[in-house]
């Protein structure tokens, strides 16, 4: 068995979970926050049989759209030894998602 951990945009989370359920997968949604944008996203956990991993990933990918976000460009500069963060007035565009997916081995799975 594998554990799929997928970080998806909050706006896609409901659809991704619904479609995983429709395809016969069990999943759990956790509210999460990206370390870079500090914006809310959703982490979906799904325990799946090895043979079904690709099928679950296909469902997640199909329903996760990529989006662009505008962030202030930030650089660090040294003045006389002190490091100072300076935020530029020129914003930078980053592409977020569709989904960031990790697949991990599961040593043991039990439902009590
Ligand atoms: P955030 O950390 O908020 O990152 C949002 C987007 O900002 C990223 O999209 C990427 O395009 C950009 N970005 C992130 N860190 C950056 C950096 N140090 N320099 C420049 N640009 C950067 P995605 O790569 O699609 O990631 C979407 C979300 O997935 C991330 O939100 C984070 O919550 C998660 N994630 C991505 N890679 C991860 C990893 N290696 N480990 C854990 N979580 C990850």
> pLDDT tens digits for 35-51?
999 999 999 999 999 99
Q: How many Å lie between the centroid of ligand 1 and the Cα of residue 38?
A: 10
By alpha-carbon position, which residue is closest to atom 37 of ligand 1? 100
pTM score, two decimals? Answer: 0.87
User: Do 104 and 91 touch, CB atoms closer than 8 A?
Assistant: no
Cα–Cα dist 4/57, whole Å: 8
What value does the mean pLDDT take over residues 81-92? 68
The three-state secondary structure class of 109 is coil
Q: For 37-81, list the strands marked E by DSSP.
A: 40-48, 67-79
Choose which residue among 38, 96, 102, 104 to substitute to test ligand 1 binding: the one with the highest number of ligand atoms within 8 A of its C-beta: 96
Six token digits for residue 7: 């970080």
């Amino acid at each position: 068995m594998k554990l799929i951990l997928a970080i998806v945009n909050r706006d896609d989370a409901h659809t991704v979970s619904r479609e995983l359920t429709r395809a016969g997968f069990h999943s759990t949604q956790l509210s999460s926050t990206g370390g870079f944008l500090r914006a809310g996203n959703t982490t979906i956990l799904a325990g799946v049989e090895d043979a079904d991993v690709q099928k679950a990933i296909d469902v997640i990918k199909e329903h996760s759209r990529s989006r662009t976000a505008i962030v202030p460009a930030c650089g660090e500069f040294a003045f006389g030894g002190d490091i100072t963060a300076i935020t530029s007035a020129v914003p930078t565009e980053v592409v977020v998602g569709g989904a960031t997916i990790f697949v991990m081995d599961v040593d043991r799975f039990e439902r009590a």
